[in-house]
């Protein structure tokens, strides 16, 4: 019985430590992030109250339309803690996604957050791939929402005649983005050609040629 009691006490202690370290609820009204300091476990260090200004809690970075004149025909404007430090420790952020006709937001993942999106303009095909290789997709028009589970590969393509605009929200102040193609073929230092060739079952010359599109 004593061993059982000690085990229960140990489990309760571990649970309390976990809740303390990874608690979702901050112990202060806000923690305006200090962008000059390295991140801690769940956010950036807080600036002192005397350094906090009104502008820390308002952000107009998503007002301007993104520049879609690029190879993908899309542009993502991020509203995360690095751009909007008032989000620090709040566990939320937003992106503006502009997509030209025929443009693509290439397959990517957010390693630290799930995503909820709202179509403000245009017609888009949104899809994601589950861990067991099931592909889910749907054509969405203005007013539709979508949800992408955390860490799953997903994309959006504008299949309409005009531009498309999506507003995405995340349950992380810094969700992170890993673009599958450019991260693999544009890594620095570069991933060896033989690794990419074997992974994608192509000749090394093909892997090298794809690398050339993402280099620089």
Tokens of 166: 């999506």
Query: What value does the mean pLDDT of the chain take?
Result: 87
pLDDT at position 21 is 46
pLDDT at position 172 is 94
Peptide bond into 181 cis (omega under 30): no
Angle at which helix 204-214 crosses helix 193-200, to 10 degrees, equals 110
CA 4/CA 7 separation, integer angstroms: 5
Domain residue ranges of the chain, discontinuous segments joined by +: 55-174, 186-216
Return the percentage of the chain with pLDDT > 90, whole number: 69
Three-state secondary structure call for residue 16? helix
For residues 99 and 144, the answer to whether their CB atoms sit within 8 Å is no
- The CATH H-level superfamily of 55-174 is Jelly Rolls (2.60.120.10)
Give the length of the chain. 216
How would residue 20 be classed by pLDDT, with cut points 50, 70 and 90?
very low
pLDDT at position 2 is 62
CA 154/CA 81 separation, integer angstroms: 23
Q: Which residue has the higher pLDDT, 21 or 186?
A: 186
Specify whether the backbone of 67 is left (phi greater than 0), alpha (psi in -120 to 50) or beta: beta
Torsion (CA) 4, 9, 12, 17 in degrees, nearest 10: -140
pLDDT at position 33 is 81
pLDDT at position 22 is 46
pTM: 0.82
**Tens of pLDDT, residues 30-73:** 777 877 777 766 678 787 777 788 888 899 999 999 999 999 99
Whether the pLDDT of residue 164 is over 60: the answer is yes
């Amino acid at each position: 019985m004593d061993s059982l009691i000690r085990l229960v006490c140990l489990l309760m202690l571990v649970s309390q430590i976990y809740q303390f370290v990874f608690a979702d609820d901050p112990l202060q009204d806000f923690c305006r992030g200090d962008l000059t300091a390295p991140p801690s476990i769940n956010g950036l260090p807080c600036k002192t109250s005397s350094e906090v200004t009104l502008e820390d809690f308002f952000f107009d970075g998503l007002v301007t339309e993104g520049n879609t004149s690029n190879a993908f025909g899309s542009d993502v404007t991020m509203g995360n803690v690095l751009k909007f430090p008032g989000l620090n420790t709040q566990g939320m952020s937003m992106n503006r996604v502009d997509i030209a006709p025929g443009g693509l937001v290439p397959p990517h993942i957010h390693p630290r957050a799930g995503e909820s999106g709202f179509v403000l303009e245009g017609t888009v095909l949104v899809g994601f791939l589950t861990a067991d290789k099931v592909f889910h997709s749907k054509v969405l028009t203005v007013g539709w929402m979508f949800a992408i589970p955390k860490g799953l590969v997903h994309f959006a393509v504008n299949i309409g005649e005009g531009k498309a605009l999506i507003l995405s929200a995340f349950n992380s102040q810094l969700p992170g983005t890993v673009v599958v193609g450019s991260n693999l073929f544009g890594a620095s230092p570069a991933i060896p050609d033989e690794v990419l060739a074997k992974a994608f079952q192509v000749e090394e010359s093909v892997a090298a040629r794809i690398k050339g599109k993402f280099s620089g």
